[in-house]
Chain A
Amino acid sequence: MRISDLMLSNDFVTNFNKSKTKVNDLQILIATGNKINKPSDSPEATSRLLGLRNQSQQIDTYNKNIESGLSYMQNTTTAMESIQGEITNVMVKLSNLGNVAASSSLNNFADQIDASLNEILNFSNLKSNGKYLFGGTDFSSKPFGFSSDKSAILVKAGDISGKQSIRTSQNTFQKINMTGTEVFGTIVNQIGNIDSATGIGSTVSSQTNVYDTSGVQYTLKVDYKKTALNKYTMSYDITDSSNNSVFTQTPATKALAFNSSTGYLETVDGQPPKQIRVKPDKANIDFTLDQTSIKEAGGSTSLAFSANQKMNIFNTLLNIKNSLRAGKVPTDEQIKSVSDFNNNLLDNIAKAGNSTNQLNNAKDMLNSQKTQIEKITSSIQGVDMAKAIMELQAQNYLLQVSYKLAASISTKSLLDYL
């Protein structure tokens, strides 16, 4: 091949540029510590990085959610423990009542119970992070308060049964509140089976006693009318001792559908089964009707209620206080009601503890996921510094050789020997 002078200098410039480009690339690599600075550096790695980055940001958010959840749960537990402390006081006092006869002392006890009641009421209306602890998902007003005539304590908020859930991973939710219904509410459980052989058009009924805030007895009647295979219309009513309804307007009926093979209740009005809040307008009655556990099965109909509806703790204490003021010692039923509430509360404190543990577990899991993601990210994105620096040194060496070479291009030609 004929070698012209232009070739020598062109070759040198081309190779020199290549070396310089490599040095430049290596310098960027070392300076940024990132292998991928632009999508075109590696489109497939960029795709993975974007996905991982999103996951990592999501985990950060889940962690923040869990932090909020934990602090909310902590406050809820503290409030419940304080209420439990007051209830223990009340129970000690109630057991001491047997030894006291003087009505003046009863009045004294009434004062103490009144103080405890007010404390419990205060705890039940506590807020955390702007949210009422026992207000369900309704923060528009305090969950509990006195009626206008101060004769009873009523649920003031529209609905205290709302569950607050946070997402702790893509597909898992964790409840972070104890609803007002769970802690303070009174639930009437409908249990048992409806005979699947019930003829279409026939009605099966069940009834139980319910009480208003001052302990007056009423009757709750629930009817299930079969409309089609596995389908029923549920209607209910509450009547007083003279058999008059306490609803101005009869409550709306519900359409129930049972699973044809398992017999479990599947939908209510097309939605997943939900408890029904019963609150008639003509009496101070407020409780939750839970019909979600009834089944349709072969055999005879065996509908029943787990228990009579009890008065809630606020009104029980209010009634005990009023009785004491009137010189009467509380009834055994009232004392049992307080102790039942205490047991329920202890249950709920344990449940809250479980939830807290679950949140902590979820947090641990997220942290280990995050570590994993960071590991993968750095394996895609991270620069092997030692390798990069060695390569840079090698390139620098080549560059120096090139400089030396440049100095010797065209220095000698035939011209020098003439």
Chain B
Amino acid sequence: MGISRLFNIAQKSLGVYQGALDVTANNIANSSNADYSRQRAVITNETSQQIGRLSWGTGVKLSDIQRVRDTLVDQQIRANNQKYSDMNQRNTILGQVENLFSEPSDIGLSGLSSAFYNSWQQLSVTPNSVVLRNNVIQAAKNLSIKVKNINDGLDTIKSNIVSETKDKVNSININIKQIQSLNSQILKGKTAGVNKNALMDRRDKVIDALSNLVNINVSYDSNNSAIVSIGGVFVADKASFVQFKSTVINGKLKITSPDGTSTPNLNGGELFALTDTFNNNIPGYQASLDGYINNLVNSLNGQHTKGFTPTNPSLTSIKFFDGYVKGELKINSEILNDPNKIAISKDGTSGNGEIALNIANLFTQKDSNGITQLDSYINLIAQIGNDKKSAVDTSEAYKLSLDQLQKQKASVSGVSIDEEMANVIRYQRSYDASAKLIKVADDMLQTLINIL
């Protein structure tokens, strides 16, 4: 046992504390990097040496640089991410739909419908007034323009959803590819003994991004490779990955593998919001709107065809609306050209406006199910309002728990400058002491040399 052991121990310890300071420096440098997980220098004592009957310590070593991360929180964050981004995306789309209807205001469909029916009401008082007849036509035109605007708007939103879905699927494909490549890099790094903490941080970031887009399931194998599946379909591990494409088949927006064989079962993430609103919500609103307009057209024509015009000779069986085709409410062109073709006389006399009275009553007349036309429209608006409101409320709830989880994650993995500075002091002191030790060993050696 010689003085050189002192040198050895001190020298090792200098290296270890310099390394520990290195780790601390890296932590401090990344203190504002939200994706960074703080790292910890794991310092352990060296295996001791048995000399004689005594066991001698041989100093200290830096055994590992650990990434501090709570995988349970990670999983919860991803699960919440899927729900939150789903609701948030719905919120955006439904907000656009809601705006199209411009309710509650005078320029909404209900206001314009009221104005339309009231114009008939007024015409019934002075049936031979051409001004009032033109008012009816103008009100019908306003109604028709608004109906077309809404239908065009819904179509635009749908086509935007299709292109946005394409973009999202592209992002998903890129993320999937990255996960596979990071998996393989991490595996290679592990075999080569390289620190893979930075790679793992990057992989976590990509997986988090993926969980924003779509519902995913992540598990880790013994080599710490992430195995990711989307809606029950395997997408990436260390060796292989799968790509997707989006298609519209029979009016339904679908995500499939390029050969169309596997279809993930979507239930979360922005992609689910896009496909679900495209496939279910918007067609539902369109069907309700079509029902409302068709009902309006049929009931109005039903009355109007019974009426007689004030023209000479008096005409009857004239339709007011040509029909409602492809989202367009068409007014009979004959009526557009000649307001006197509006047929509101029940008995053929020019001053009879009974048909107009009947028409004015259609809006608030109960049908066989006890529902008025106004009710059916109000139901549609309430439906859209409720869908949007529940998306807003749910997204807020998920946002709250997501914030809480992010806080937990930051608590576990975030860098605390105070803590790091304390470590700096601790490591620096240890470094100082080790250096002092070398001086002491040197002095001891000097003393021995001087004796000679």
Contacts and interface: CB of A to CB of B under 8 A. Distances in A.
Nearest to A161: B349
Interface stretch (B265-273, B408-416, B442-450): B408-416
Nearest to A59: B118
Interface residues of A, number: 58
Interface stretch (B187-195, B288-296, B383-391): B383-391
Dominant secondary structure at the B interface: helix
A302 B407 CA distance: 100
A5 B415 contact: yes
B19 interface: no
Contact of B389 (A40, A57, A162): A40
Contacts of B122: 61, 64-65
Contact of B384 (A39, A58, A132): A39
A51 B378 contact: yes
A6 B104 CA distance: 44
A50 B103 contact: yes
A47 interface: yes
A148 interface: no
A130 B131 CA distance: 11
Interface footprint category on B? 35 or more
A44 B378 CA distance: 10
Contacts of A164: 125, 351, 353
Given A40-B94, A131-B351, A4 B415 contact: yes
Interface string B80-118: 000000000000001100110101101010110011001
Nearest to A67: B125
B403 interface: yes
Interface stretch (A329-337, A349-357, A407-415): A407-415
Contacts of A51: 374, 378
B397 interface: no
A1 B412 CA distance: 9
A40 B98 contact: yes
A54 B417 contact: no
Contacts of B114: 53-54, 57-58
Contacts of A14: 403
A2 B420 CA distance: 13
Contacts of B111: 53, 57
A298 B412 CA distance: 102
B129 interface: yes
B389 A43 contact: yes
A7 interface: yes
Interface in B418-443: 418-419, 421-422, 425
B186 interface: no
Nearest to B413: A4
B414 A137 contact: no
Contact of B381 (A7, A39, A414): A39
B124 interface: yes
A166 interface: yes
Given A137-B350, A139-B350, A54 B110 contact: yes
B357 interface: yes
Contact of A2 (B110, B115, B127, B411): B411
A159 interface: yes
Contacts of B412: 2
Contacts of A95: none
Contacts of B31: 5-6
Interface in A14-43: 14, 36, 38-43
Given A1-B411, A176-B125, 6 more contacts: A40-B94, A46-B104, A61-B118, A130-B129, A137-B352, A167-B357
Interface of B: 31-32, 34, 38, 94-95, 98-99, 101, 103-104, 106, 108, 110-111, 114-115, 118, 121-122, 124-129, 310, 312, 345, 347, 349-353, 357, 360-361, 363-364, 374, 377-379, 381-386, 388-389, 392, 403, 406-407, 410-419, 421-422, 425
14 contacts: A5-B415, A7-B407, A40-B98, A41-B389, A46-B104, A50-B381, A53-B114, A54-B364, A58-B114, A61-B121, A137-B349, A166-B125, A414-B422, A418-B425
